[in-house]
Structure 1
């Protein structure tokens, strides 16, 4: 992964120096230098997981498990806990375990969704949290596991306040250019987007919102963001997933991205249709590795791009001796951590008071 947004280069060599190296005759040496930096930055991003682990280790000063119906669905930091406990009809603190529960009297999907939305709407009006300035009127469903029935739905911009697992779809659009070789289409996000404005991103990406399947989301976003016609989408291939844990001023992001690869003809040029993309650029893979190291690349899209470079052999054991470590960092076991920790006694009656 790459650095959190706003950080400067981890290495004093600047981007222009990297470009000079990449364009020199010592291309192999330049690639080794670049991928070594990628591993270094991936290690930095792995620190985000430590907060999560500390929570399960009982460090309640850092965060607390958030449970719905006795199952952990998130992680709550102190600033959110303080605000949540002002709503005792919605949130309860379990004195015995230190975990936070959604009130056990809220037993249906509809009840939970309505009550949490009322709280979030109040926080939005009060300006309590910066993330709610990007209110989307789009909901994510909260589940104990990806295939489990949803327990409630929550405004998308608010899920990071509770460390709710988020799911999205990303499409690597690539082509075999006759002169440049394998190239990836990258999008520059609209400068008016509430998150990551103007950053470079994968060709197509979108969150998995209420009412849409994974494939539905992929097809919808491919049409809206890049105007990819249906006959080209027949080449869409599922390529697994990446998962990571990211922290910013907005909150906590335990993200899983369902990944697709899409080989496109060399003469295809994507066009945006929904106003969320500023421009597209076709980038040779060696330049993609360089671009990942700049602060202009969306941090949470780096794992998908790195995963593509690994699966297609552009990052391999010959040019990156730490490849196994890098692969592990792209697949943080979020589902295991949530599903095997944070379960609580107390049954349907809820936490002790």
Structure 2
């Protein structure tokens, strides 16, 4: 393939990166989008259509303007003081909304829970299907299974999701992937999913290599997906063929890197798995600054700074700190004026005595 041909084909990657970051690039400018706060810390973002429904549950969700920033916020009732109570009260609302069939996201209810966390602690858990409604940050693991073929070079294993999957049914996907459910760690999840989805034996899975993470902010008709995926690479023997064990995969296919790129561009590939494939191909030297004119922009869109987008508490504290400083300054000024008044009084009294 001529280098110019590669350049023309791979330039499509930039448009794909924009697609799986559609909310990050344009979503904040559309409509009423409010921070979702629990215990004073931002854990999500809520759009206007969800806010409209949450207004029906005022004893659970407080929808108001912050007194310090005057920004609209959605806050879980502060009266719910512990993890269990917060989980229970939110679950009541979600089950009620599910029974009414208002949101398509809740049709994928699976009794699988994700943690809703601030930067340092878990505040409650929520059914996986509901997290897009609240713009809750989600975490998952992905395994890039690959081989170095003697004649075709770098080849990558892909899976085709079962047609019965609640999300992205029938789409092509990374060889192994799964969300971080309550009670499971990152490496633990990777090992579990490797066994369930691809029957990778322990003597091979021990060779998993941590390869960092990707992050992006996607929006679909189901809601918001501020996702961080922990990535692992796994070089496999030429004679290994993945076999599904949990009924969630209908096929596997080993593709040369060139064909894998073409597959990613199709509508048959799961959009939110594209970042992992692109990241892998960059790290393994298939996508380079020489054959991709938007190389640096793509790198940035594979590592969206989600942490800095969920900083409402920090902003609020800054506002409070400024107000406190202003109050202290006013108090000090008032004290200085009082002292000056007292001193002037003494001076006037001394002047009278001397006269």
TM superposition score category, shorter chain reference? 0.7 to 0.9
> 1:120-170: per-residue Cα shift (whole Å, max 9, x none)?
01111111110111101000000112xx22000000000000000000000
In the alignment, structure 1 residue 110 sits paired with structure 2 residue 80: no
Tell me what 1:83 maps to: 53
Tell me what 1:280 maps to: 252
Tell me what 2:114 maps to: 140
Question: Could you say which structure has the larger radius of gyration?
Answer: 2
Question: In the alignment, is the contact (CA less than 8 A) between 1:166 and 1:255 conserved in 2?
Answer: yes
State the shift of 1:244 in Å. 0.4
Question: In the alignment, is the contact (CA less than 8 A) between 1:68 and 1:102 conserved in 2?
Answer: yes
In the alignment, structure 1 residue 99 sits paired with structure 2 residue 69: no
Give the whole-Å Cα distance in 2 for the aligned partners of 1:274 and 1:289.
Answer: 27
Of the structure 1 ranges 219-228 and 136-145, higher mean CA displacement relative to structure 2 is found in: 136-145
Question: In the alignment, is the contact (CA less than 8 A) between 1:51 and 1:62 conserved in 2?
Answer: no
> 1:254-278: per-residue Cα shift (whole Å, max 9, x none)?
0000000000011100000000001
In the alignment, structure 1 residue 42 sits paired with structure 2 residue 12: no
Give the whole-Å Cα distance in 2 for the aligned partners of 1:46 and 1:275.
Answer: 30
Distance 1:62 1:45, change over 3 A: farther
State the shift of 1:234 in Å. 1.4
> 1:76-129: per-residue Cα shift (whole Å, max 9, x none)?
011100111111111001234211100010110000000001110111111111
Give the whole-Å Cα distance in 1 for the aligned partners of 2:221 and 2:22.
Answer: 15
What TM-score, normalized by structure 2, do the two folds share? 0.85
Tell me what 1:253 maps to: 225
Tell me what 1:33 maps to: 8
Question: In the alignment, is the contact (CA less than 8 A) between 1:106 and 1:112 conserved in 2?
Answer: yes
Give the whole-Å Cα distance in 2 for the aligned partners of 1:32 and 1:53.
Answer: 32
In the alignment, structure 1 residue 297 sits paired with structure 2 residue 272: no
Give the whole-Å Cα distance in 2 for the aligned partners of 1:286 and 1:157.
Answer: 34
State the shift of 1:341 in Å. 6.4
Give the whole-Å Cα distance in 2 for the aligned partners of 1:129 and 1:95.
Answer: 25
Give the whole-Å Cα distance in 2 for the aligned partners of 1:294 and 1:62.
Answer: 33
Matches within 5 A, 1:147-186: 148-186=120-158
State the shift of 1:321 in Å. 2.6
Tell me what 1:233 maps to: 205
Tell me what 1:7 maps to: none
1:211 aligned counterpart, secondary structure? coil
Root mean square deviation of aligned Cα: 1.7
Give the whole-Å Cα distance in 1 for the aligned partners of 2:103 and 2:205.
Answer: 39
Aligned residues between the structures = 315
Give the whole-Å Cα distance in 1 for the aligned partners of 2:64 and 2:26.
Answer: 20
In the alignment, structure 1 residue 73 sits paired with structure 2 residue 43: yes
Question: In the alignment, is the contact (CA less than 8 A) between 1:254 and 1:334 conserved in 2?
Answer: yes
Q: Going by fraction, where is helix more abundant, 1 or 2?
A: 2
Which runs of no fewer than 5 residues in structure 1 stay unpaired? Answer: 1-25, 348-353
Tell me what 2:347 maps to: none
Which runs of no fewer than 5 residues in structure 2 stay unpaired? Answer: 321-355
